[in-house]
Structure 1
Amino acid sequence: MRALFLSLSLAFACTSAADTLVVDNVNGYTLTDGGIHKFGALQVKDGRVVATGAAGAFSGIDADRRVDGRGRTLLPGLTDAHGHVMGQGYLQADLNLSGITSKAQALARIKAYAEATPQAKWIRGRGWNQELWPDRAFPSASDLDTVVADRPVWLRRVDGHAGWANSLALELAGIDADTDAPEGGQIGRTAAGEADGILVDNAMSLVEAKIPGRSREEQRVALDRALAQLASLGLTGVHDAGVDFDTLALYQQRDGQDALPLRIYAMLSDVETLNRVAAPYMGDHLVARSVKLYADGALGSRGAALLDDYSDRKGHRGLLIHPVAELKQRIKTVIDRGFQVNVHAIGDRGNREVLKAIAQYGKPQQRNRIEHLQVVAAEDFSAIRSAGIIASMQPTHATSDMNMAEDRLGPERIHGAYAWRTVLDAGIPLAGGSDFPIESANPFWGLYAAIARQDHQGQPAKGWYPAQALSREEALHAFTLGAAYAAFQEEKLGSLEPGKAADFVLVDRDYFRVPVHEIWQTRVLATYLEGEPVFIAEEFAR
């Protein structure tokens, strides 16, 4: 679908001091405390909602601008509560191995990319997932050497918690048979004890410390690409899960220029970035008042920290990124500084250690978050609620992981995994996201996964553990009001109620009425931020 992307630098500056917009002839929905509210027209002034009404209700208003919705469905702007903006931008320039279904196919793509980019000093990319390959075995450095041996290669796994290096990259990093893995990391080994090219969690830093940093121009290009793509998908906000100091400075510059076409709620990258920031940043389209920490790794690479052995690897319980005492100290440091703490936790042990630390040092009104909350022991849900922890979860992780999750966890623990219904029934606030670029940034894919718990071919036929599915209203809440609450923004964002920001999207089908299997196929026709268009599909611009 071709589209019109509006000038980012002018998108907001062109609004007059008394600008009035009327969007008429729409099939409008918004959520309120009382449930779903339907409307046919929307009135906006100075970027804020004035009122909703029946179609034609504002025909007598002296509006500066009028938009004919042509009967299309209008929804509140969607917010992804856990994504990686710069990662999304870099993915469009780096090697993308997402969806590759065999090692041979992956190697062919790597070879083609290397031949097409002779100027690249390093071949870097991400997205491979051995669980999609016939033998489900991790690849090796020797595999990579067959296609690229003259330049270092570094490819992150789809979850970002393991990397695949060729022999030259291992050599440059000084990794050999005698290299010890750092705390919270793992170096894969051959039968002879040599490094096999797979590095997990903290061990990845050994290679990544040798990769040249991105230039300022590369950063700017990646940001522009990501923002344009996210706006085209109907996102008006993103909670950016891990922003380093230089990226924060770039975001602040753009915010000061009124050149951010969506709202970024930035999580600073661990205490190292926090220590360089004097205070929270509360800008127009940028807020930085939270910090992203890590408890453990990921399930696919068996780095998630479990209370008991992995069902498919006896004697192995995953990895904690930091020793428990250090993790607790990091959480305490963030809370003591007055920032919200948002901790990545996948395994039931990782989640329990975070829960205990937040319960000890935090207060419910601080709205501290667990990012992913993927595998939780049944007895911990009520304690999570008592601690005021927000569950920031990503529905497409369930449909991507369902081919291996039960292998890792077994038939009992799986009932506490990807457990959105259990979370809501326990009274835990839920915010929805995707973890892009690990998953697609398309929020309608996430909404579909939350409701159907099926892949795009409709499998499994009855859904994967369908008792954990959400209703359409609950799923939309997670990506709107739930995300807003998780960012302390529910008074301003998340619904189209009077006084709130006029962030909305027009889409090609009725989210609440189409068959469930059509939800993921929804196409965005226009995205508006504060009543200003930041994306218009060409078919809708005519």
Structure 2
Amino acid sequence: MKKLIFLIVLIVSFTSCKQQEVDLIVTNANIYTVNTNFSKAQAFAIKNGKFLAVGTTQEITENYTAKEIVDAQGQTIVPGLIDAHCHFYGLGLQQQRVNLEGTKSFDEVIQQISKFQDEKNVSYITGRGWDQNDWEVKEFPTKKKLDKLFPRTPIAIRRVDGHALLVNDAALQYSGLSETNFPKDISGGEFITKNGRLTGVLIDAAMRYIKIPPSTRKESILGLLDAQKINFSYGLTTVDDAGISQPTIELIDSLQNTGDLKIRIYAMVSATQQNLDYYTKKGIIKTDRLNVRSFKVYGDGALGSRGAAMKKPYSDREGHFGALIYSPKRYQEIAKQIAASAYQMNTHAIGDSANYWVLNVYKEALKNESDRRWRIEHAQIVDHQDFDLFKNVIPSIQPTHATSDMYWAEDRVGSERIKGGYAYKKLLDIYGKVALGTDYPVEQVNPFLTFYAAVVRKDIKGYPANGYQMENALSREETLKGMTIWAAYANFEEHEKGSIEAGKFADFAILSQDIMQVSGEKIPETTATSTYVNGEKVH
């Protein structure tokens, strides 16, 4: 009898010794691992902020024990989502400014500004989000009403895409300009005039002439924390901030070191000459939460404001081609300097001319190096004969641009050129991967709208009935990869995130429904019920 009791105790002791103590176990889940085989799992164990093991519920519970065990009760889990192109800091600052998104007329813009000023009473009004293409009269506004209502308060409000700015007379005066006193000939932009006088709308490079007081440190910190909260609420755990300055990067690093900013950020440094010189000399900056190894360059403007550089004139504006932001020679100089470093070059290119020029600059600078992972951001309108130039360049694309622009994009470029527009499947076939983002706050933060636009190619109104240019829709698997592992690859981070695998950061989101199985029209209803970073619940 004593021998039997001893044997039982020995077996129990041996069994308990087999179970490894971990920090968190998640069981009974519907897990899309997004590993090489795109396999599924039921459970995982997390220790020290990383996935330790992934498998069935039985395998994990037999081999691991934890003080915290989450029973997912069949809910869907995906890797922490990555927004491969957004303006995280800009979104945060926008929370401190007037929000003009969704306004349906210029009168509504005026109402929003007046309401904001009544509440905030600021000395200089800034904001973003108006879009004349959403108005009944689809023409650029003028500053006339702003001058009348706000004669002494400077106002500078950006169009939704950030490539046009409306200012009043007070803002012109603050900047040392006037209706008749302004640069008459600039490269890469335009001062819109009527009868020789400024209307108040400035395009691309012209916007640089408007002086706007810098944000205070307090505003910047509040903005970053607000943006983090918004992103976590959508299951986003990594964001690629497309175009930020050295002081902002250093503030982000500081807040991450104190533990206040937990979100992971892939920083694209604004490619000023000062920044190019500083960061190429300093080299890559890499922590678990911050990765500084790329530059954001602007190739041209936006299609909506007709600033995108086209090979032939716009179909709805005779003799107008848009423009490159810099001289052709300047792009070659920038590319040469970046190519001589370990940094990545990520260039905004919308029009077919901008895409053609930048892709050829890349080809010359890289001399067919195969793994530099330079990126074209947006790649919206591409000439049919230029798609092959993407064989060595990552397309970083934003699916909701297609469903936002589809109402007027063909008017801009005509029925033939639009066939090379928003061609996400074709770009995927050429390079083999696509990195997906939102470009928020140009579009909404919601990544499930990205998923919907990529797969279904409709807007949330269900338009068009059969989807927009469905030959370029992505499959659900391709789309989830573009929002996770392929986005991580575009950031040189595929070995540390982007899939639920042992050894990778324990970043994941629990979803309200199975985004891979629900009917297409239900995809936008998806929410992130919980978000985890390093195994810590952050939403």
TM-score category of the 2 structures, normalised to the smaller one: over 0.9
Partner residue in 2 for 1:301: 305
Answering whether residue 114 of structure 2 is matched by residue 111 of structure 1, we say: yes
One-letter identity of the residue aligned with 1:431: A
Measure, in 2, the Cα distance between the counterparts of 1:56 and 1:127. 50
Measure, in 1, the Cα distance between the counterparts of 2:309 and 2:395. 18
Task: Point out the structure with the larger helix share.
Answer: 2
Tell me which of 181, 197, 200 is aligned to 1:194: 197
Query: TM-score of the superposition, structure 2-length normalised?
Result: 0.93
Tell me which of 526, 531, 534 is aligned to 1:530: 534
CA displacement at 1:354 relative to structure 2: 0.6
Partner residue in 1 for 2:9: none
Tell me which of 352, 375, 379 is aligned to 1:373: 379
Q: Deviation per CA, 1:281-312: give whole Å up to 9, x if none.
A: 11120010000011100000000000000010
CA contact under 8 A between 1:389 and 1:429: conserved in structure 2?
no
Measure, in 2, the Cα distance between the counterparts of 1:70 and 1:421. 35
Measure, in 2, the Cα distance between the counterparts of 1:492 and 1:116. 45
Measure, in 2, the Cα distance between the counterparts of 1:111 and 1:54. 57
Partner residue in 2 for 1:50: 52
One-letter identity of the residue aligned with 2:161: D
Partner residue in 1 for 2:206: 203
Measure, in 2, the Cα distance between the counterparts of 1:218 and 1:463. 41
Percent identical pairs in the alignment equals 40
Q: Give the 3-state SS of the residue equivalent to 1:407 in structure 2.
A: helix
One-letter identity of the residue aligned with 1:381: F
One-letter identity of the residue aligned with 2:65: D
Answering whether residue 344 of structure 2 is matched by residue 343 of structure 1, we say: no
Q: How does 1:220-259 map to 2 (within 5 A)?
A: 220-259=221-260
Q: Which runs of 5+ in 2 are unaligned?
A: 1-19
One-letter identity of the residue aligned with 1:531: G
Partner residue in 2 for 1:3: none
Answering whether residue 315 of structure 2 is matched by residue 311 of structure 1, we say: yes
Tell me which of 134, 137, 143 is aligned to 1:135: 137
Measure, in 2, the Cα distance between the counterparts of 1:104 and 1:236. 38
Structure 1 residue ranges, 4+ long, deviating more than 4 angstroms after superposition: none
Partner residue in 1 for 2:153: 151
Q: Give the 3-state SS of the residue equivalent to 2:387 in structure 1.
A: helix
Measure, in 2, the Cα distance between the counterparts of 1:520 and 1:149. 43
CA displacement at 1:517 relative to structure 2: 1.2
CA contact under 8 A between 2:84 and 2:240: conserved in structure 1?
yes
Q: Which runs of 5+ in 1 are unaligned?
A: 1-16, 536-542
Q: Give the 3-state SS of the residue equivalent to 2:65 in structure 1.
A: coil
CA displacement at 1:384 relative to structure 2: 1.7
CA displacement at 1:18 relative to structure 2: 7.0
Measure, in 2, the Cα distance between the counterparts of 1:446 and 1:256. 31
Q: How large is the Cα RMSD of the aligned pairs?
A: 1.5
Partner residue in 2 for 1:176: 179
One-letter identity of the residue aligned with 1:380: D
Tell me which of 91, 101, 104 is aligned to 1:101: 104
Which piece of structure 1 moves more, 198-207 or 250-259? 250-259
Measure, in 2, the Cα distance between the counterparts of 1:219 and 1:197. 28
Q: Give the 3-state SS of the residue equivalent to 1:31 in structure 2.
A: coil
Query: TM-score of the superposition, structure 1-length normalised?
Result: 0.92
CA displacement at 1:178 relative to structure 2: 4.3
Measure, in 2, the Cα distance between the counterparts of 1:314 and 1:364. 41
Partner residue in 2 for 1:185: 189
One-letter identity of the residue aligned with 2:249: L
CA displacement at 1:345 relative to structure 2: 0.6
Q: 1:219 to 1:18 in 2, by over 3 A?
A: farther
One-letter identity of the residue aligned with 2:69: R
Q: 1:166 to 1:18 in 2, by over 3 A?
A: farther
CA contact under 8 A between 1:391 and 1:430: conserved in structure 2?
yes
Q: Give the 3-state SS of the residue equivalent to 1:470 in structure 2.
A: coil
One-letter identity of the residue aligned with 2:159: R
Measure, in 2, the Cα distance between the counterparts of 1:393 and 1:531. 29
Which piece of structure 1 moves more, 435-444 or 109-118? 109-118
One-letter identity of the residue aligned with 1:93: Q
Q: Deviation per CA, 1:122-172: give whole Å up to 9, x if none.
A: 111000000000010100011322432220110000000000011211222
Q: How does 1:428-443 map to 2 (within 5 A)?
A: 428-443=432-447
The aligned length equals: 512
Partner residue in 2 for 1:538: none
Q: Deviation per CA, 1:16-46: give whole Å up to 9, x if none.
A: x974321012111122222x31222112222
CA contact under 8 A between 1:152 and 1:166: conserved in structure 2?
yes
One-letter identity of the residue aligned with 1:365: D
Q: 1:18 to 1:253 in 2, by over 3 A?
A: farther
Q: Give the 3-state SS of the residue equivalent to 2:153 in structure 1.
A: coil
Partner residue in 1 for 2:517: 513
Measure, in 2, the Cα distance between the counterparts of 1:44 and 1:139. 54
CA displacement at 1:229 relative to structure 2: 1.0
Q: Deviation per CA, 1:234-271: give whole Å up to 9, x if none.
A: 00100110110110110121233344322100011113
Q: Give the 3-state SS of the residue equivalent to 2:417 in structure 1.
A: helix
Q: Which structure has the greater CA radius of gyration?
A: 2
CA contact under 8 A between 1:19 and 1:45: conserved in structure 2?
yes
CA contact under 8 A between 1:231 and 1:261: conserved in structure 2?
no
Measure, in 1, the Cα distance between the counterparts of 2:109 and 2:403. 22
Answering whether residue 70 of structure 2 is matched by residue 67 of structure 1, we say: yes
Measure, in 1, the Cα distance between the counterparts of 2:432 and 2:181. 47
Which piece of structure 1 moves more, 389-398 or 18-27? 18-27
Measure, in 1, the Cα distance between the counterparts of 2:260 and 2:112. 36
Q: Deviation per CA, 1:334-362: give whole Å up to 9, x if none.
A: 22222100011110111111101110011
Measure, in 2, the Cα distance between the counterparts of 1:414 and 1:530. 43
CA contact under 8 A between 1:51 and 1:497: conserved in structure 2?
yes
Measure, in 2, the Cα distance between the counterparts of 1:225 and 1:274. 29
Q: Give the 3-state SS of the residue equivalent to 2:191 in structure 1.
A: strand
Partner residue in 1 for 2:85: 82
Q: 1:511 to 1:476 in 2, by over 3 A?
A: same
Measure, in 2, the Cα distance between the counterparts of 1:510 and 1:480. 16
Answering whether residue 367 of structure 2 is matched by residue 364 of structure 1, we say: no
